[in-house]
């Protein structure tokens, strides 16, 4: 990246750019290797998976691994649980977080600053620190092994409130002032003026929340003891560990099922997702 | 930042009747409305975060098993936390993990963001997407895939590295290599997130600054040192704090790949909390350990806020 080359815009391939592209190709190959190994191993026959020397591509393709892993685990149930858990948390959190963020960004009320600092402080609390009393509370409510127990504790979170508040602050205020003069209620302003303008931020936060919860391991491990109530992420770990040594091909088939919905969703909306992170103040 | 927006004055009728105060409402009305908006979120956070915090503090002074038997033992749990050699090892392991993970992930993310910030880079959007994909893969799945790749017998990566003359052996059973391996899995999974945040930060740097630096004869390194880095300090603060907090809380891939082994060499603080709280059911001790983690995290955040200063003003303005 030499100085004169950057100034002259339309240029052929400079040596610096060629080197950069080579470096990026190598880095991307290493980054994508685990994904490739999951996809390719999932369809490899057992003999090839355990063959020496190992190879990247299967010689023959098979569905045996997929069949076996769906026989080992109640897969449809676990995937459905993941959707309900991650989707439920996301839906509640978006509603509750945006309501709270609206008040913090747009209503001038007594105690606003103190509350904001308190919310930022809870951002720093590692959830592991509260896990044990939280488990006792959920157990006292009779919510272990229920969707309520998985979802309710995460139905609002400091990060989401803070993130949306930053975004709401950046929206112009003229329109909601005008709407208030016209007699619109506070809720009306929130729903019809602020929310429609916050779609990129809501989408970004929603995806983060969904991905993080879908992928979370410790949470479903702690709040579900019944294998039928686990998520796909926690269910897969039942296949490993003591007494659960499962062939690599089967593990990779399970992993493929676990990542497929998220990877497809991400690839469909990746451009907007990355742009939204860039434009919604998450920095 | 008040709701008396200058533009609203336009709509106000000239007669000072006081009846058109609806634009902002009375302070009492505003308070009531604000708390109504806040209530659902505060209820959730209060019940499921704040209250358990208080309960954990209480438990940390107890000998408690979770089955009703509770006995006040003062600071004994904390004494154990600070004297038990296993816990000392877990703290050192967590710090070692943080040292392995944080600079690697942050430098990789920054370097790639710098490369891919240039609009002239070929295949820019392909590379951006490829680098972010690991972020949507769970730690557990990442752990399965990497474990297989570095398997001493059938692992493809191990095989290739052997071809290059690098004998790694059984990485996850090797006391020296197990921790770097689990830290690298975290780098793989998380650097794409930091990368995107750096990209966003880079886009906010006005190009006029670079033009000016160039006119003063600044080379690429000088521009990076004197323009990019200072202008990126808020972004850097955000990324560093998130990366360090993620490192202090390392659990998932370790649970899957090594279970804390070999011989406790990858046993981190959160692994200890999980084991003492949910395996050994020593809940009082696990709570004390949790509080130590919490205080470490808060101290780290505080140091970071003091160090980078400016950001905090932005946050609460």
Helix (H, G, I), strand (E, B) or coil at A61: coil
The dihedrals phi and psi of A44, each to the nearest 5 degrees, come to: -95, 140
Nearest-CA residue of chain B relative to A99? B37
Helix (H, G, I), strand (E, B) or coil at A162: helix
**A36-53 burial by CB neighbour count: b if 16+ within 10 A, else e?**
ebbbbbbbbbeebbeeee
Residue-wise pLDDT for A40-68, tens only, equals: 999 988 888 887 788 888 888 888 888 88
Give the domain extent around B215.
Answer: 85-316
Residue-wise pLDDT for A75-133, tens only, equals: 889 999 999 999 999 999 999 999 999 999 988 888 898 898 888 778 777 777 788 88
Scan residues 196-225 of B and list those with Cβ closer than 8 Å to A: 196-197, 199-201, 203-204, 214, 219-220
CA dihedral A257, A261, A262, A267 (to 10 degrees): 120
pLDDT confidence of residue B169: 83
Is residue B40 domain-shared with residue B109, that is, in the same domain? no
Residue-wise pLDDT for B55-77, tens only, equals: 889 989 998 876 677 888 889 99
pLDDT confidence of residue B316: 44
- A56 interfacial to chain B (CB closer than 8 Å): yes
Give the domain CATH number at B239.
1.10.3720.10
Domain extents in chain A: 3-67, 73-238
pLDDT confidence of residue B14: 42
Mean pLDDT, to the nearest integer, of A143-162? Answer: 93
Q: Could you tell me which of A145, A155, A137 has the C-alpha nearest to residue A222? A: A145
Is residue B250 domain-shared with residue B190, that is, in the same domain? yes
- B124 interfacial to chain A (CB closer than 8 Å): no
d(CA A264, CA A96): 28
Is residue B120 domain-shared with residue B48, that is, in the same domain? no
User: Rounded to two decimals, what is the model's pTM?
Assistant: 0.83
Is residue B137 domain-shared with residue B37, that is, in the same domain? no
Q: Does B67 map to a domain?
A: no
Residue-wise pLDDT for B279-292, tens only, equals: 888 889 999 998 88
If you count residue pairs, one on A and one on B, with CB atoms under 8 Å apart, how many are there?
A: 323
Nearest-CA residue of chain B relative to A220? B252
The correct answer on CATH 1.10.3720.10 for the domain covering A73-238 is yes
Is residue B109 domain-shared with residue B223, that is, in the same domain? yes
pLDDT confidence of residue B18: 40
Is residue A226 predicted with pLDDT exceeding 80?
yes
Task: Check if the beta carbon of residue A145 is closer than 8 Å to that of residue A229.
Answer: yes
- B23 interfacial to chain A (CB closer than 8 Å): yes
Residue-wise pLDDT for B264-284, tens only, equals: 999 999 999 888 888 888 889
Residue A218 class from Cβ within 10 Å (0-12 exposed, 13-18 middle, 19+ buried)? buried
Task: Check if the beta carbon of residue B298 is closer than 8 Å to that of residue A127.
Answer: no
Is residue B32 domain-shared with residue B151, that is, in the same domain? no
Is residue B277 domain-shared with residue B133, that is, in the same domain? yes
Distances A1 to A15, A44, A88, B223, B240 between C-alpha atoms, Å: 9, 43, 47, 11, 26
d(CA A149, CA A139): 8
| Sign, CA torsion B218/B222/B226/B230 | positive
Scan residues 265-294 of B and list those with Cβ closer than 8 Å to A: 270, 273-274, 277-278, 283, 286-287, 290-291, 293-294
Task: Check if the beta carbon of residue A252 is closer than 8 Å to that of residue B144.
Answer: yes
């Amino acid at each position: 990246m030499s100085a004169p080359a950057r100034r002259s815009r339309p240029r052929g391939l400079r040596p610096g750019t060629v080197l950069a592209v080579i470096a990026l190709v190598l880095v991307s190959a290493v980054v994508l290797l685990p994904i490739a190994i999951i996809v390719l191993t999932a369809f490899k026959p057992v003999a090839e998976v355990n063959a020496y020397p190992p190879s990247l591509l299967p010689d023959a393709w098979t569905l045996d691994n997929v069949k076996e892993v769906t026989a080992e685990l109640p897969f449809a149930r676990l995937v459905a649980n993941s959707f309900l858990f991650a989707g439920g948390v996301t839906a509640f959190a978006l509603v509750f977080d945006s309501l709270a963020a609206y008040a913090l960004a747009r209503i001038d009320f007594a105690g606003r600053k103190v509350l904001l600092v308190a919310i930022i402080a809870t951002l720093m609390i590692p959830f592991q620190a509260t896990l044990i009393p939280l488990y006792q509370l959920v157990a006292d409510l009779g919510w272990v092994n229920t969707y309520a127990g998985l979802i309710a504790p995460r139905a609002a979170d400091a990060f989401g409130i803070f993130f949306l508040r930053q975004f709401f602050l950046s929206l112009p205020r003229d329109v909601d002032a005008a709407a208030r003069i016209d007699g619109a209620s506070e809720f009306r302003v929130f729903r019809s003026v602020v929310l429609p303008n916050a779609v990129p931020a809501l989408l970004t936060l929603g995806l983060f929340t969904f991905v993080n919860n879908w992928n979370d391991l410790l949470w479903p491990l702690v709040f579900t003891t019944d294998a039928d109530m686990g998520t796909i992420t926690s269910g897969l770990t039942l296949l490993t560990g003591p007494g659960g040594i499962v062939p690599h091909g089967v593990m990779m088939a399970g992993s493929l099922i676990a990542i497929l919905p998220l990877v497809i969703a991400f690839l469909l909306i990746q451009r907007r997702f990355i742009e939204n992170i860039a434009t919604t103040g998450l920095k | 930042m008040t709701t008396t927006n200058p533009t609203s004055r336009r709509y106000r009728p000239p007669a000072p009747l006081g009846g058109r105060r609806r634009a902002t409402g009375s302070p009492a009305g505003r308070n009531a409305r604000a708390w109504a908006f806040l209530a659902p979120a505060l209820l959730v956070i209060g019940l499921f975060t704040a209250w358990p915090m208080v309960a954990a503090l209480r438990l940390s002074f107890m000998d408690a098993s979770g089955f009703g038997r509770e006995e006040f033992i003062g600071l004994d749990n904390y004494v154990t936390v600070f004297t038990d050699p296993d816990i000392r090892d877990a703290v050192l392991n967590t710090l070692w993990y943080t040292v392995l993970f944080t600079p690697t992930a942050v430098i990789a993310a920054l370097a790639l963001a710098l490369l891919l910030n240039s609009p002239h880079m070929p295949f820019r959007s392909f590379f951006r997407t490829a680098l972010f994909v690991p972020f949507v893969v769970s730690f557990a799945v990442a752990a399965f895939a990497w474990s297989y790749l570095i398997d001493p017998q059938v692992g493809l990566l191990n095989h290739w590295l052997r071809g290059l003359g690098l004998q790694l052996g059984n990485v996850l059973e090797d006391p020296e290599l197990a921790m770097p391996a689990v830290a690298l899995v975290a780098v793989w999974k998380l650097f794409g997130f930091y990368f995107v945040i750096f990209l966003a930060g880079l886009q906010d740097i006005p190009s006029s600054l670079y033009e000016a630096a160039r006119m003063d004869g600044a080379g690429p390194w000088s521009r990076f040192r004197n323009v990019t880095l200072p202008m990126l300090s808020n972004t850097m603060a955000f990324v560093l704090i998130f990366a360090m907090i993620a490192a202090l809380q390392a659990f998932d891939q370790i649970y899957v790949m090594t279970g804390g082994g070999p011989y406790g060499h990858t046993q981190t603080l959160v692994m200890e909390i999980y084991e003492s709280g949910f395996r050994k059911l020593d809940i009082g001790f696990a709570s004390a350990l949790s509080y130590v983690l919490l205080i470490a995290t808060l101290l780290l955040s505080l140091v970071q806020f003091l160090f980078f200063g400016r950001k905090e003003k932005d946050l609460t303005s």
